[in-house]
Amino acid sequence: MAASTASSEDVVRPAACGEALAFTTHTLVDKKQVNLCETYGGQVVLIVNTASKCAFTPQYEGLETMYRKYRARGFVVLGFPSADFANQEYKGEKQIQEFCRLTYGVQFPMFEKTRVAEHQAGPMYRKLAQLSGQYPQWNFHKYLIDRNGKLVGSFASGIPPEDPKLVNAIEALL
């Protein structure tokens, strides 16, 4: 494996919850290790590869609105910043965090910068692509995971958080 594909994501027991959440990763800036199965198993999860300097960056607002609207019902958005597409993410993770909070009021969990593009994806994004048949083609691709940790939907970057297709899919799982 080339150094550019290295990731701090580790695979955890897939039997503990569905394959889509069978990973550990680290939070943005403070680098706390998070076992996605233990922390988010039993919830409806939307995993999104994000970027701060992209035409789709305003989707942060819709993602945060969705998170606040549904979190009491067991829904969470997980943001994974990535610079894979046109290097549209800040280099520093503290800068990413400040941008997200100050510009869009992001409170949903954000994780360390992650490689998501097909030829350099980290383990979690390789698994999500294997399960869905689709790697992200750009920033703000969304993977929807049910309460059992099973991937149930993949939504391209051009589908905003408020799109009825995505909203209906989430509401059906809550």
Q: Are 38 and 71 in contact (CB under 8 A)?
A: no
The helix or strand, by DSSP H or E, that contains position 153, with its residue range, turns out to be strand 151-155
CA-CA distance, 135 to 138, in Å (whole number)? Answer: 9
Marked catalytic residue, from 17, 37, 54, 100: 54
Site of tokens 């958005």: 77
Instruction: Tell me, yes or no, if 100 is annotated catalytic.
Output: no
CA 81 – CA 121 distance, rounded (Å): 13
| Residues with a known catalytic role | 54
